[in-house]
Amino acid sequence: MIFDRIAPKSELNRTIKEFWVYENHNSTSEVQKIIPDGFSEIIVHYGDSYQINLTGTWELQSRHLFSSQISKFFHLKNTGTSGMIGMKLFPEAGYELFNVDMSGYTDRVISLDELMTDVSSFSRLISKECSTEERISVLEDWVENVRNSESDNIKKVRNTTDLIFESNGMIDIQALSEAVEISTRQLERLFKRTIGTTIKFFSRIIRFNYIFQLMKNKELSWIQVALKSGYFDQSHFIKNFKEFTGEEPTNYGFDEQTLANFFLKK
């Protein structure tokens, strides 16, 4: 089994957060849980296809995918051996690359055919003869060719998400509005179109993600983790954790080698 992260070239490090690679040559079918992390992604399967269960029904996935903001956990299941490369994008990058209203893509994992007329660049990446370095080079070239010039609106949203990340989701809308110098109403509308969720919900996702960083400190109690991640009481903490994972924190396997932990435990 291989989990790996690769940084993008510096010219693209405000569009692409990182590349990731997952390979598993064990063909035994296994269900994996995916948990929201606040980033959108482009994913290419060069191994066997996966099935996805977003709404209670298993469906076969396309080999090249776009995943926008996800508000709840969902499940994936391999149909054979696994080989995939992902391009984890900053939250505003989906809008920057595809120039579509992202609110229509929340909680969807779709084939790139729905957003692009020409997916030939991605079809090349499916070849098992292609190396990780070659796949990354193709993806970086594609991003450079299609991304739009950074508009003032994109800059405002990017500054907003930066502040949310820096505060681990513990900053209010009024403070964000003042920082980017537009009204709360304008910011909410712009954010929803560019990111796909409300500011409040996105901040909840980032605050929830912070739990996984705190769990690296084995000496912290559950109450300390709850307070440090901005929850006023343990019951609110448990309710929020269960909403995003389907499990109570005491039952969650933080040390297990899963795709969810790979993405959330930086």
pLDDT-wise least confident of 44-48, 61-65, 69-73, 258-262: 258-262
What's the rounded Cα separation, in Å, for the pair 77 and 73?
14
Residues 117-131: pLDDT tens digits? 888 888 889 988 899
CB 208 within 8 A of CB 169: yes
pLDDT of residue 95: 95
Rounded Cα distance, 117 and 87, in Å: 20
Residue 266 confidence (pLDDT): 63
Q: What is the mean pLDDT of the chain?
A: 94
Tokens of 95: 């809008």
Lowest-confidence pick of 78-92, 169-183, 247-261: 247-261
Average pLDDT in the 82-106 region?
Answer: 96
**Can you list the alpha helix ranges (DSSP code H) found in the chain?**
93-98, 120-125, 132-146, 152-166, 173-180, 184-195, 199-214, 222-228, 234-245, 259-264
* φ and ψ of 59, to 5 deg: -135, 145
CATH number of 2-146: 2.60.120.10
Q: How far apart are CA 255 and CA 260, in angstroms?
A: 11
Residue spans of the domains in the chain: they are 2-146
* pLDDT over 70 (residue 39): yes
Q: What are the residues whose beta carbons fall under 8 Å from the beta carbon of 120, sequence distance 6 or more?
A: none
Going from the C-alpha of 70 to that of each of 62, 65, 152, the distances in angstroms are: 18, 14, 26
Quote the CA–CA distance of 26 and 178 in Å, as a whole number.
52
The H or E element that residue 66 is part of is strand 64-67
Condensed to tens digits (0 to 9), the pLDDT of residues 207-229 reads: 999 999 999 888 899 999 999 99
Query: Which tens digit of pLDDT belongs to each residue from 140-198?
Result: 999 999 988 778 999 999 999 999 999 999 999 999 999 999 999 999 999 999 999 99
Q: Read off the pTM.
A: 0.93
Listed residue (155, 256, 240) closest to 206, CA to CA:
240
pLDDT of amino acid 28:
96
Task: Count CB atoms within 10 A of the CB of residue 37.
Answer: 20
